[in-house]
Chains A and B, each alone.
Chain A
Amino acid sequence: MTGYRLIVIGASWGGLHAVGEILAGLPADFEPTVLVVQHRAEDAEDLLAGLLDRRGPLHVREVEDKDALHSECVLVAPAGYHVLVEPDHFALSTEAEVRFSRPSIDVTLESAADALGPAVVGVVLTGANDDGAEGLAAVRRRGGYAIVQNPATAEASTMPAAARGSASVVAELPDIAALLRELA
């Protein structure tokens, strides 16, 4: 037990597939809470949680305001809301988009680093913008662990390339679930 309490997975373009692959590799009794921050359009009839729910043994649902930090389910940031992390719960916000995104990966990672320090694992996956880079740097500064998908093999390389400087480890997508199992 290494004491990680929260794993934040940030993804943008190509994320549905990439996040699904990770969730397929996590066991039903996975201990740390997993929070997925996936960029997407705000007005879409939102199917993301349902789609991810089918990918692995863990149940997947959207975060609600003031949900407890510890969750048996994988949580997904709702379209149109930022998810901020408090010491024992999540809080939602509709403040301005950050880098054109709401939910923003930076917002969640930065507040997670503030609230939980070394108990956070940040994961930055495929995407065509640079959200997540600053947040991952904050996670590292506060002693957390940072996994970045190898930009060379990611579906879109910009986002993992921007975050790479803060990586504790750069990993191939098929290996990330195993890494998380080891950290848990």
Chain B
Amino acid sequence: MTATDHDRELEGLELDLLLEAVYRRYGYDFRGYAQASLRRRLWRRADLEGLRSLSGLQERILHDPGCMERLLADLSINVTAMFRDPGFHRALRSDVLPELRTHPFVRVWVAGCATGEEVVSVAIALREEGMLDRTRIYATDMDADVLARARTGSFALEKVRDYTRNYISAGGTEAFSAYYAVAGERAVFDPELLRPVVFAQHNLATDGSFNEFNVVLCRNVLIYFGRDLQDRVLRLFDESLPRRGVLALGRKETLRGTAIEDRYEPVVEAERIYRRT
């Protein structure tokens, strides 16, 4: 065994122990996350804290909840945008919402909603299809900080130009500017859009199913999970969907090769929209 192989093995052990410590002390379970990206961010946190090893980071985290909060912010990557991947939102409108229009009541789960841009986007589409007042949207994330920001229903004004472009290519039918008011540096969206939304903290790695939904959106979250955790979470969605329930993943995520692939058919394959058979 070479010196570097040895270092790698030791580092692997330190990493496992650190994740175990985080789980047992704080309840956040990152043990099934994709390793390469996790290691990168753990090392980044260690560097910023002036620490030279992952066991050093473990010690600080065990004794200093502030350090855990900083780590949590590093680990919950919450990059998002309104009408991110406009083609997806267009397909949601043209290929998913029409069938739901016949339902007296519709439940949507946005899992891993981050700061809420996706939630407001879906709410706008539902409003334009005349369905918002018959819908309840459950928007969940493991990170309480992003949920608090999501509840404000306001986003940085500087992004709004991009969002307007996305909205138009997503098939929006109104003037986008009618949906928000400018307050300083923020665009504050019509509070009516958030009225049917329930924000709640929910950890996909440790919490169970809490309702049945017509549509589950979980976009750009599964990429952070290893294959086993992906399968666990997909089974959770599967338990939360009735027959013909819709599951939508991110642009580069797929059901192919997963535990539930046989039970689903594509609605729009290119946009990763699937339906339970």
Interface of A toward B, CB cutoff 8 Å: 43, 62-66, 78, 81-82, 84-86, 91-96, 107, 110-111, 114-115, 117, 142-143
0/1 per residue, B152-190, Cβ < 8 Å to A? 000000000010010000000000000000000000000
Q: Tell me if B24 is interfacial: C-beta within 8 Å of chain A.
A: no
> Taking the nearest CB of chain B, how far is it from the CB of A73, in angstroms?
15
> Taking the nearest CB of chain A, how far is it from the CB of B140, in angstroms?
19
Once A64-B252, A64-B253, A85-B36 are accepted as A-B contacts, the answer to whether A91 and B79 lie under 8 Å apart by CB is no
What is the number of contacts between chain A and chain B, taking CB atoms within 8 Å? 63
Additional pairs, 16, CB under 8 Å, beyond known A64-B254, A91-B223:
A65-B223, A65-B250, A65-B252, A65-B254, A66-B257, A78-B251, A81-B223, A82-B37, A84-B37, A86-B36, A94-B220, A94-B223, A95-B37, A96-B79, A114-B36, A115-B36
Contacts of A65 in B (CB 8 A): 222-223, 250, 252-254
- In angstroms, Cα B15 to Cα A39, docked, is 31
- In angstroms, Cα B29 to Cα A126, docked, is 42
Q: Tell me if B40 is interfacial: C-beta within 8 Å of chain A.
A: yes
Interface of B toward A, CB cutoff 8 Å: 4, 8, 34-37, 39-41, 77, 79, 162, 165, 220, 222-224, 227, 230, 250-254, 257
- In angstroms, Cα B79 to Cα A86, docked, is 22
- In angstroms, Cα B252 to Cα A110, docked, is 22
- Interface CB pairs A-B, < 8 A, 21: A43-B162, A43-B165, A64-B254, A65-B223, A65-B252, A66-B257, A78-B252, A81-B223, A85-B36, A91-B34, A91-B37, A92-B223, A93-B37, A94-B223, A95-B41, A95-B77, A111-B36, A114-B8, A114-B39, A115-B36, A143-B4
